[in-house]
Amino acid sequence: MAMGEGECTPATKPVNRPLIRVRDLACHFVASPPPLIRLLQRRRRSLLKAVDGVSFDIARGTTFSVVGESGCGKSTIARLLVGLLPPTRGRIEFDGVDITGDRARRNARALRRRMQIIFQDATASLDPRWRVSAIVGEPIRAFRLADGHERTERVSTLLSAVGLDPNDGNRYPHQFSSGQRQRVSIARALAGNPDFIVCDEPTSSLDVSVQAQILNLLKDLQTRLGLTYLFISHNMAVVSYVSDEIAVMYLGRFCEVAATQELLRSPRHPYTRMLLETIPDIDAPGVRRPPIGGEAPSAIDTPSDCCAFHPRCPFADDRCRRERPALRPAGPAQVACHAVEENRIG
């Protein structure tokens, strides 16, 4: 794991304790109609397993990324971590404190200030009727961090920190470009002095040139403020640029978790290989890229007794259709694949 061991002082914080520890996290949604209608239509109860047993740690000051296709459950993980969704099963620990379950809800409230989220759609994530200064000042007011003049001052500092003019606070969100709007939501996320920020596809709705600016801003803030990120994206190129560790997600489960360099250099899971082949390469123009066959199947009622990826996998055999692979160490990485385990892939 890419942990900066030297960064934490052993006296105050245990060196090996990650900021975020997630164990067997699951979130299921009922996908069938209400009972009476279901009875009339003679349909079985069906579950959408958006996230189905996911475990990971995020070390302080590092970026952990989750990549995957649309609908694989990566945004659900983001929402679970900041408490927007209750988990069906599993445990989330923030700085050693359990924040799941009814008993832990009180802890969670106190810890709210320390975790924030940045959403994909910067336009939708800012209240169109609020001035930017009020939007950025909302966490400061909510957590009673500062008042009056001091708050105004803090908002100005925050706006400068994300590369905006302090006078922009008087404007409304619709008067900004989408990149600037994303800067505003970053400023709001920073307003409560958090330790941990969930970035849910923060650059997906932006132009490529602006994407780079926002990513650099996020990296810059991370080094300056010692932030820990959970970064959600479907874009392999973006993820490889920002992360220390990457988890590849498919239909609610991780299929490979590895340090960024390791994953890029030697991808092991067949799905990871396919994803990496989608990154455009400036050194190899004109290369034919084999498209990933088929579409991600629906997460509704996925059978639990086979590998979820087997319909699209070129290496699938009988075992893959019978038995679900678990995440197992494979070299320095963790991979959930029978073919990798049996060394069937060349």
Partner 1 sequence: MANARTRIAGGTRTRFSAHLGRRLVRGCADQLIDSPATVVALLLAFGFCTMAVFAPWLAPHDTSDVGTLDLMQALRPPVWLEGGDWAYLLGTDDQGRDMLSGIIFGARTSLLVSGVAVLLATLLGTAVGLFCGWVGGRPDAVLMRIAEVQLSFPAILIVLLIDGLGRTAVSTDLHNVAAVPVLIIAIALSNWVQIARTVRGSSMAEKNKEYVQAARVLGIHPAAILLRHILPNIFAPVLVIATLGIAGAILTEATLSFLGVGVPPTQPSLGTLIRFGNNFLISGEWWMTVFPGLALVLLALSVNIVGDWLRDVLNPKLS
Total residues contacting partner 1 (rule CB under 8 A)?
A: 37
Name which of 260, 253, 265 is nearest 336 in CA terms: 253
Q: Report in angstroms how near the CB of residue 124 gets to partner 1 at its nearest.
A: 5
179 binds partner 1 (CB under 8 A): no
Separation CA 258–CA 262 (nearest Å): 6
Q: According to CB under 8 A, which one of 167, 216, 261, 304 is a site residue for partner 1?
A: 167
Binding mask 274-313 for partner 1 (x = CB under 8 A): ----------------------------------------
Q: What is the DSSP string of 248-261?
A: EEETTEEEEEEEHH
SS3 246: strand
3-state secondary structure at position 60: coil
Min separation Cβ 28 and partner 1, Å = 17
Q: What are phi and psi of 135, to 5 degrees?
A: -65, -50
Q: Which of residues 80-109 bind partner 1 (CB under 8 A)?
A: 82-84, 109
**Rounded Cα gap, residues 87 and 28, in angstroms:** 8
| Shortest CB 192 distance to partner 1, Å | 7
133 binds partner 1 (CB under 8 A): yes
Nearest by Cα to 116 from 179, 20, 186: 186
Q: Does 230 bind partner 1 (CB under 8 A)?
A: no
Other CB atoms within a 10 A radius of the CB of residue 244 amount to 21
Contact in structure between 81 and 92 (CB atoms under 8 Å):
yes
Contacts (CB under 8 A) with partner 1, residues 135-164 = 138-139, 142-143, 148-149, 152, 155
Q: What is the C-alpha separation between 221 and 127, in angstroms, rounded?
A: 24
Which residue from 134, 145, 225, 237 is in contact with partner 1, where contact means CB under 8 A?
134
Shorter beta-carbon distance to partner 1: residue 184 or 316? 184
Could you give the 3-state DSSP secondary structure of residue 174?
A: helix
Give the list of residues 6+ apart from residue 19 with CB closer than 8 angstroms, or none.
Answer: 58, 59, 60, 94, 95, 195, 196, 228
Window 107 to 126, contacts with partner 1 (CB under 8 A):
109, 112, 115-117, 119-121, 124-126
Binding site for partner 1 (CB under 8 A): 79, 82-84, 109, 112, 115-117, 119-121, 124-131, 133-134, 138-139, 142-143, 148-149, 152, 155, 167, 169-170, 172, 185, 188, 192
